[in-house]
Amino acid sequence: MEVDDRRQANSLAESVGLQDFPSNVLINIFAKACPSPYDRRLLFGLSLVCNKFAGVLRQPSVLWNVMLLSLPRQAPSLPSAKAALDQLLQEGPRLASFVAWALPRAAGVRELTVRFTNHHQAMKFQVLVGLFGVSLRTLGLSPGCHGAVPLQQPTINLIGYCTGLERLELTSDGVMTRDLSPLSLLQKLQLLQITSFNDPVRYPIPPAVLTVTSLRELSMRALGLNLIQDAVSSLQDLEVLEIVGARGLRIQGGLGQLGSLKELELNACEMSLDLSAAQQQQSWCPSLSGLTSLTSLSFLAPRNFGLVIPPPVTELVSLRRLKLLRVVSKQFAPLLLPPGFANLGATLTELVLECTDWPAIPQAVFALTGLRLLAIRASGLRKLTAEVAMFGALRRLDLSRNRELDVRDDIPWAGMTALRSLDLSECRHLRVTTGLVGLAELPALKMVSLHGCTAATQAADTALNKLLKALKSARPQRVKVIILRKDVDYTLHDVDDMDVS
C-alpha cells in the first residue's frame, strides 16, 4: 500500500478491517515479511501505516529478538573538559531518543550484537545492559568497522549483569589480558567464543572460563593461548571444543577426561615439541581414552605435528570422523599411521586426509571397511588398485589433486554399489581408460569429476567417449560428469563433504 499521510492510511486500514486482526497474526505476518533479522527498515515503515500496526510494533515480540547496534564514533581526542562536555550534550538527546524507542520493546530482545567504534564504551553499554540485560540470551561484542577498538575492562565487567546469557562472543585485541572473572556469573552460558588478537604474553585457558560448568561449546581463537590445562576437566558438559591459531600449544591430560566431548578441532595450531624426538608424540597429545563420546576429531593445518598420527587417537572408541589437513612443505615426509589404527574400523565412517605423501593407500586404511567418505587429496598417490573395492559401503571417494595418479583397469567397480561420487579432478596425468566404463554399472552414482585431467579435455578421446556413452545408456537417471569447470578453488580448507548419514 502506498499512502500519502497517516490519515489516509487509517481510513484505508478501517475499510479493510485491519483493526480486527489479532496481534499475534500480524506479528507472524511481519516476521515473514522481513528479509533478515538484522534489517528492520520494513518494520519502521509498517509502524506508519496505522495505529494498529504502530501498537503491535511497539510491544515486545519475536520481531525484536535480534538487534544489531553500531555505537557512533567519537573524535579520537578531546582537547579539553569543555569539549568533552559538548560532546556529551550532543549525544545525550540521541541516546534519550533511543531509550524511549527501545524501552517498550526491550523485553522482547533476545540477541544483541554491539560493535564499538570508540573507547567510550562503558556508559553506552551500561544503558544497553539496563535495557536488555534481563532478557538477553545471546550477546556479541566486537570492534566496529572503523577500526580495532579493544574492549575495555569496565565493559567486560558489565557482562556479569546479563545472567540469563546462553551464548556469548567476545572479539577484540588483547581479550586474554583482561580480567574475565565476570564470566563466572553466567551460570546458564552454553556457548562461549573468545577471539583475541595481538596478545602481548602467553596464557592458558582463563580460569574464569573453566568455572562456567554449564558450557557445551567453547571456541578459543587466540594467538597467545599456549596451554589446555588439567582444569579443563571441570567442564563435564562440554560437547564442542575448538582451538584456533594457538602458538606453542601444550595439552595436559585433563582434556582426555571430558566424557561428554563430541567434537574436537585444532585449527592452525602450533604444537609444542619440547621433549626429545622419542617423546614428541606424548609432549602434545596425552591419553584420550576418557573421550568416550568423541565422534569428530580435526587437525587443520597443524604445525610441528610430527610424522605420525598420535597413537592416543586409536583409543577413541566412538570416533566417526577423522580429518587431517597437513601444511604443504617442500620438505615433505610420509605420514605414518600408528599401530592399532585399523581398530578404528569399528566406528570410523569418514576419513579426510591431505598432503600425506603416500605413493599408495596404506593397508591399514583398507581395514576401515565401514567408511562412507574417503578423501586422500594432494598426497602424491600414484596408483589406485583393485583393493579399493573393499570399501563396499563407500559413498564418496575423493582422490583429487594427485597429479601422478594411475587408475588400474582391473578395479571391480560393480562391487561398490553405494558409491555416489568419484572425484578425480586435477589428476593431471590420469589416463581415462576403458576400465572406468564399469562406473556405469553403479546404481547410486551421481557424479564423476574429471576436471583438470589432460586426457579428459580432448573431445576425441576414445575411452572418455565410451564412458559417457555407457553412462547414458545404462543409467535411467542422469549422472553428472564434470570435465571442464571454471572458478573452482581447491584450497587447503575446502572440504565439501557429502551427506553420509
C-alpha cell at 493: 580448507
Question: Of 35, 62, 89, at which residue does a domain stop?
Answer: 62
Q: By the 8 A CB rule, do 105 and 59 touch?
A: yes
Cα 369 to Cα 392: distance, rounded to the nearest angstrom: 7
pLDDT digits (tens, 9 = 90+) for 224-262: 899 999 999 999 999 999 999 998 899 999 999 999 999
In a domain, 150, yes or no: no
Residue type, 452: G
Pairing of strands 296-300, 447-449: unpaired
Residue 31, in any domain of the structure = yes
pLDDT score, position 257? 94
* Count of domains forming the chain: 2
Find residue 266's DSSP bridge partners: 243, 299
Question: Does residue 432 fall inside a structural domain?
Answer: yes
Domain CATH code at residue 402: 3.80.10.10
DSSP code of residue 85: H
Write out the DSSP string of 382-443.
-EE-GGGGG-TT--EEE-TT-TT-EE-TT--GGG-TT--EEE-TT-TT----GGGGGGGG-T
Of the candidates 492, 415, 412, 488, the one whose C-alpha atom is nearest the C-alpha of residue 450 is: 488
Give the C-alpha separation, 288 to 282, whole Å: 11
Alpha carbons 335 and 296: distance in angstroms, whole number? 20
Q: Is residue 156 part of a domain?
A: no
The answer to whether 339 and 320 have CB atoms below 8 angstroms apart is no
Q: Which residues contact 101 (CB under 8 A, 6 or more apart)?
A: none
Per-residue pLDDT, 59: 77
For residue 363, give the nearest of 378, 385, 382 by alpha carbon: 385
How, if at all, do strands 421-423 and 447-449 pair? parallel
Q: Quick check: is 91 in a domain?
A: no
74, HSE (Cβ side, Cα atoms, 13 Å)? 20
- Domain span at residue 31? 6-62
Residue 15 belongs to some domain of the structure:
yes
Alpha helices by DSSP H, 60-200: 81-102, 122-132, 153-158
256: DSSP letter = G
Residue 247 within any structural domain of the chain = no
Output the pLDDT for position 285: 87
Q: What SS3 state is found at 169? A: strand
Asked if residue 393 belongs to a domain, the reply is yes
From first to last of the 501 residues of the chain, give the pLDDT tens digit: 344 555 555 555 555 566 667 888 888 888 888 777 666 778 778 787 887 888 888 778 777 777 676 655 444 444 444 444 344 445 556 667 777 777 888 888 888 888 877 666 777 788 888 888 888 999 998 886 545 678 888 889 999 999 999 999 999 888 888 899 999 999 999 999 999 888 778 899 999 999 999 999 999 998 889 999 999 999 999 999 999 999 889 999 999 999 999 999 999 998 876 544 444 444 578 999 999 999 999 999 888 888 889 999 999 999 999 999 988 765 568 899 999 999 999 999 999 999 999 999 999 999 999 999 999 999 999 999 899 999 999 999 999 999 989 888 888 888 899 999 999 998 888 877 777 888 888 888 888 888 888 766 665 567 778 888 888 777 656 788 887 654 333 332 333 444 433
User: What are the two backbone dihedrals, phi and then psi, of residue 68, each rounded to the nearest 5 degrees?
Assistant: -115, 120
How confident is the model at residue 2, as a pLDDT?
A: 45
Given a contact cutoff of 8 angstroms between Cβ atoms, the answer to whether 242 and 219 are in contact is: yes
Cα–Cα separations (whole angstroms), residue 378 to 201, 331, 382, 431, 472: 37, 15, 11, 17, 31
How long a stretch of residues is the chain?
501
